[in-house]
Amino acid sequence: MAEMDTVKFEMVTPERLLVSQQVHMVVIPGGEGNFGVLPGHSPLLSTIRPGTIALYGKDNKIAERLFVEGGFAEVTPESCTVLVEVAVTLRNITMEMADERVQKANDALMDAGTDGERRGAERELEAAEAMLAAVDEARKDHLH
C-alpha cells in the first residue's frame, strides 16, 4: 500500500499500544454514529460507543474487527488514534461468551440497589449487548 493511500491507525490502552498499522480505511462506532476515516480526513475528535472498529485493507475488505467498549478517537489527515480501556479482537469472542455477558449484566441490573449500581449495570448491559450484536454481525458476514 502506498503511504498516500493509507491512514496510520493506532489503538492504545492505558497499558500499551495494541495496534499500529497502515490501513486503507477505518470505520469507528462514534458517539453520534459510525464514521469512516480515509486518508486526508478532516481533523476530528469523537467519543466512541461500544461496538466494532473495522480495519480495511487495500482490497476494500475488512481485514480485522476489534470490539471496543468505548473510548475516544482523534483523527488527522494522516492518522487515526483510538484510546480505549478495553479492546478484543472480535474473532476471539464466541456467541456463548457474549450471551453469558448479557445474562450477567441483566442479573446485575435486576440486583442493583442504588442509583450508582444501576448506572454501572446499565453501562455493562449496553457493552454486553453491543458485543453480542458485533459477534452476530461477524457470524452473518462469514456465512455470505
In 3D space, the residue among 43, 28, 40, 55 whose CA is nearest the CA of residue 4 turns out to be: 40
Residue 117 makes CB contacts below 8 A (sequence gap 6+) with 108, 111
The whole-angstrom separation of Cα 131 and Cα 93 is 8
| pLDDT of amino acid 137 | 84
Phi, psi dihedrals of residue 35, rounded to the nearest 5°: -140, 145
In 3D space, the residue among 56, 85, 81 whose CA is nearest the CA of residue 68 turns out to be: 85
**Alpha-helical segments (H) within the chain:** 95-111, 115-143
When comparing pLDDT for 29 and 143, which is higher?
29
Mean pLDDT of the residues in the chain: 91
Contact (CB, 8 A) for 132 and 103 = no
* Residue burial 73-88, b: 16+ Cβ < 10 Å; e: rest: bebeeebbbbebeebb
Q: What is the pLDDT of residues 22-64, one digit of tens each?
A: 999 999 999 999 999 999 999 999 999 999 999 999 888 999 9
Write down the pTM of the prediction: 0.83
